[in-house]
């Protein structure tokens, strides 16, 4: 696992690290624990809820690993 993994095909909130890349939870509205799982194409850190493994996040996000 690397926090420099690029994840493509994200919505704007996801790419800004404001929403879960797995389930789309809005972190500004729902205070759920989340962890960085990679970076958007813009270089912003992106997050997924704790409980999802990073590999799952990458798969759901399109598996665009580089």
Interface positions with Zn ion (CB under 5 A)? 20, 22-23, 25, 49
52: DSSP letter? S
Taking the C-alpha atoms of residue 20 and residue 46, their distance in angstroms, rounded to an integer, is 8
Q: Kindly state the smallest distance separating residue 40's Cβ from Zn ion, in Å.
A: 16
CB nearer Zn ion, residue 23 or residue 41: 23
Which residue sits closest to Zn ion, CB atoms considered? Answer: 20
CB nearer Zn ion, residue 42 or residue 51: 51
- Tell me the residue length of the chain: 66
β-pair partners for 7: 40
CB nearer Zn ion, residue 22 or residue 37: 22
Taking the C-alpha atoms of residue 65 and residue 59, their distance in angstroms, rounded to an integer, is 9
């Amino acid at each position: 696992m690397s926090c420099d993994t690029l994840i493509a095909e994200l919505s704007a909130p996801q790419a800004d690290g404001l929403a879960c890349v797995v389930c789309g939870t809005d972190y500004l509205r729902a205070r759920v624990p989340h962890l960085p799982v990679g970076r958007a194409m813009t270089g912003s850190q992106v997050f997924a809820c704790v409980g999802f493994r990073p590999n799952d996040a990458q798969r759901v996000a399109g598996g665009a690993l580089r």
